[in-house]
Amino acid sequence: MTTTFATPVLSATDRCDRCGAQAYVRVVLPGGSDLLFCSHHWNAHEEKLRPQAAEVVDETHKLTAVAPVDER
């Protein structure tokens, strides 16, 4: 049997560790702990954190996605 793990999806309840805004980026460190960032704080710290990260889940594309129009 093969077990497949899905990439964690960030939800509206995930909050930025710096300011408490909705998190759109999760940085998993080599030890397994993670940091959550809003887009603003990720932009401020990405250059330093990306080389140290074991994984980066970046969902900032959701900020510019166009919601479907309900045509009822």
Which sequence spans correspond to the domains of the chain?
A: 25-63
CB 47 within 8 A of CB 16: no
Q: Which residues contact 14 (CB under 8 A, 6 or more apart)?
A: 22, 23, 26, 36
Q: CA 4, 17, 54, 63 torsion: positive or negative?
A: positive
Q: Tell me, what's the pLDDT at 41?
A: 97
pTM: 0.79
Residue 10 has pLDDT above 70, yes or no: yes
Average pLDDT over residues 65-69: 76
The band of 72, judged by pLDDT with boundaries at 50, 70 and 90, is confident
